[in-house]
Amino acid sequence: MSAADAAHGAFSTLFSNIFIKLPTPNTDLRGQTFIVTGSNTGLGFEAARHLNNLGTEKLIMAVRNVTKGETARAEILGSTGRKEDSIEVWSLDMASYESVKEFAARVTRTLPRVDGVLANAGIMVDKFTMFEDNESTLTVNVINTFLLLLLLVPKLRESGTKFNIAPRFTTVNSALHYMAPVKGLDSDDSEIFARLNDPKTADMGARYNLSKLLVIYAVRELAERLNASSTASSTIIINSPNPSYCKSNLAQGTEVGRSSAGKMFEKLLARSTEEGSRALVHGVISGTESNGQYLTNCHVQVPACLVTDSRGVRIQKKFADELVAKLERISPEISSYV
């Protein structure tokens, strides 16, 4: 993290939240199918409401707690007036490799088409715990997010070819990636995941920030790799929008988020959850100009220098290679896609 990057991230967030109002989505989505993970609350819930209101033929609310998901579904349908069968609630636990694999298999087996996936589910914690064989933030925000993407590649490509569309896979980002610590990422001594999974050296106060930097690396690299050998009719658009600082329960997993100061700061400066969700909807309905890109305020934005400079390019390649190798060990079938 450079001082310039950190200052840019902080200033851009303040400027966005004070002076910029995001446009309300108005695209006609009739006949289309979308998936939103983590959609029973917060930004995911509001994004799901927008998508249902825009006429989606089928919206899959992918949630860890199906009972809470059904409650959220009923609330959305009550506000949009859409038919009961326009939304389904499916189980998905982003902390579990097996749950992601089962969910992707169900999508592939049962949905006629997939136009967009909004991978919204994520966590922010400041205590080191393990989910599967990684620190929890890495498992949820990074590894299982891209495991879901790669397992859905055949279905996304099939949908693209059959319906002449460019399916989208969108995963949420943050201006906090500008403030991510990169110590230990640029080293030939050991694997990146091995260092990040060491509880003795993990900087958990900035782990969420780092996870969002890693997401940008993966989005940029996989957007290029997945589409390098594909035809125009089967292009998959992968992007990562930043909704900016929003009212949500995300930071409740940290002491800062639960503090009086944190709650006051949110009250004064945070966007509403609904407005922030507009950025996510923009991402999941965007065109090819967004492929491989970081988005802010509903347009393409240049990410941190630690993404775009020569050091960032080197880290991106090394991290992507490690990520793909890890994902292939979890689900060997994805090796043919990347």
Q: What is the pLDDT of residue 85?
A: 98
Q: What is the average per-residue pLDDT within 10-25?
A: 86
Q: What is the pLDDT of residue 234?
A: 75
Band (265; pLDDT cuts 50, 70, 90): low
Q: What is the pLDDT of residue 185?
A: 86
Q: What is the average per-residue pLDDT within 45-69?
A: 98
Q: What is the average per-residue pLDDT within 146-166?
A: 97
Task: Say yes or no to pLDDT of 278 above 70.
Answer: yes
Task: Say yes or no to pLDDT of 276 above 80.
Answer: yes
Q: What is the pLDDT of residue 256?
A: 63
Q: What is the average per-residue pLDDT within 150-154?
A: 97
Tell me if residue 337 is catalytic.
Answer: no
* Catalytic position from the list 58, 155, 212, 326: 212
Distance CA 296, CA 329 (A): 34
Comparing 171 with 337, the larger pLDDT belongs to 171
Share of the chain above pLDDT 90, in %: 80
Which of 17-21, 163-167, 186-190, 255-259 is modeled with the greatest confidence?
A: 163-167
Task: Say yes or no to pLDDT of 97 above 60.
Answer: yes
Lowest mean pLDDT among 4-8, 41-45, 191-195, 215-219: 4-8
179-233, pLDDT tens digit by residue? Answer: 998 877 877 667 999 999 999 999 999 999 999 999 999 999 999 999 886 554 5
pTM for this predicted structure: 0.95
Tell me if residue 97 is catalytic.
Answer: no
Concatenating the DSSP letter of every residue in 145-204 gives HHHHHHHHHHHHHHHHHHHT---EEEE---GGGGG---TTTS-SSS-HHHHHT-TTT--G
Task: For the chain, give every domain's residue range.
Answer: 3-336
CB 218 within 8 A of CB 211: no
Distance CA 129, CA 253 (A): 12
* Catalytic position from the list 97, 178, 208, 294: 208
CATH architecture of 3-336: 3-Layer(aba) Sandwich (3.40)
CB 165 within 8 A of CB 159: yes
CB 278 within 8 A of CB 43: no
Single-letter amino acid code for the residue at 335:
S
Single-letter amino acid code for the residue at 264:
M
Band (257; pLDDT cuts 50, 70, 90): low
Band (87; pLDDT cuts 50, 70, 90): very high
Band (258; pLDDT cuts 50, 70, 90): low
Q: What is the pLDDT of residue 91?
A: 98
Task: Say yes or no to pLDDT of 125 above 90.
Answer: yes
Distance CA 328, CA 146 (A): 11
